[in-house]
Amino acid sequence: MRELLPGVFTWPWFSERHGYDFNGYLVRAPGGNVCIDPVEMSDAVLDQIVREGVSVIVVTNRNHTRASARVRDQTGAPVAIHAADAAHARAQGVTIDREIAFGEALGPFVALDARGKSPGEVALHWPERRMLVVGDACVGNPAGSCGLLPEKVIDDPAMLRASLRALAGVDFDVLLLGDGAALTTGGREALTRLVASFGG
């Protein structure tokens, strides 16, 4: 696990099928650390997460439950996901302790509407640090830019484009992505370029 920014830790799990990293995050925060979309990890990474402590595990969408159960088992932290994606996650055998809503606070983050790929996808915004965390609404591939997943895996492409247009209007610079390369600066500009490519 490496410290990407002060108090922001990440670890990768390479997806051969996609050709880029899936990323888990642990963010130190006042009032308790937030673990976001934890991917598979080595025992050493898990030990470090346990030492740091976790107050809540946030799953940004129904497909990012990943290693959340493992982190929950070792830290006792509750797993939170948007209500609209909760049933799908539970059907995969994942224990969901908390259903969240758009606009809800999760530590220093606010859950923003990122619907489209799934009906309950959230992006997480930390206004004071000008940080946005996105799960599947867009991906960091190629590095330094934002792209979309294949349309065949997106529930509602028009809704996703609308969500991304709205997110591009949020004040942020750091863009942490669940898939592909994070942008520690220039994230909003990269997202704005993606949105501009939609036309109309």
What are the residue ranges spanned by the domains of the chain?
2-196
CATH class in words for 2-196: alpha beta
In the structure encoding, which two tokens stand for residue 52, read together? 């740091």
Query: Confidence band (pLDDT; 50, 70, 90) for 43?
Result: very high
Query: Confidence band (pLDDT; 50, 70, 90) for 17?
Result: confident
For the full predicted model, state whether its pTM sits above 0.85: yes
Kindly state the average pLDDT of the residues 85-90: 97
d(CA 13, CA 39): 6
Summary mean pLDDT of the chain: 96
d(CA 139, CA 67): 19
pLDDT for residue 4 is more than 80: yes
The sheet that has 105-106: what strands, in order across it?
105-106, 109-113, 122-126, 131-134, 174-177
Q: Which residues contact 109 (CB under 8 A, 6 or more apart)?
A: 29, 34, 58, 124, 125, 126, 133
Handedness of CA 126, 127, 128, 132 (dihedral sign): positive
pLDDT for residue 200 is more than 70: no
Query: Confidence band (pLDDT; 50, 70, 90) for 172?
Result: very high
List, for residues 110-148, the tens digit of each pLDDT value: 999 999 999 999 999 999 999 999 999 999 998 999 999
